[in-house]
Amino acid sequence: MKKPIYYTCQNQSCGTRWESTEVVVTNEGQGPLFRCPICGARNALAAREEDGVTVYRQRRTTGS
């Protein structure tokens, strides 16, 4: 059983929660990301290998 992966749009005025299957992961040259289907904000992801499968986890971009 695979646990679903959730992403949260980092646009503070949006903040929509998405299941990983609801968004399209692309790589525009600066690492994987998805664009929020509602507000279009770019949200950085980090690729990780789990059990031989590449999964994308959300990268926290807020804070320092």
* Secondary structure E strands in 1-64: 6-8, 17-19, 25-27, 32-35, 42-50, 53-58
Minimum Å distance from CB 49 to Zn ion?
27
Judged by CB under 5 A, does residue 39 bind Zn ion? yes
Minimum Å distance from CB 50 to Zn ion?
26
Judged by CB under 5 A, does residue 23 bind Zn ion? no
Judged by CB under 5 A, does residue 9 bind Zn ion? yes
Task: Count the Cβ atoms, other than its own, within 10 Å of residue 49.
Answer: 8
Residue 36 CA to residue 10 CA, distance in Å, equals 9
- Using CB under 5 A, list all residues that contact Zn ion: 9, 11, 14, 16, 36, 38-39, 41
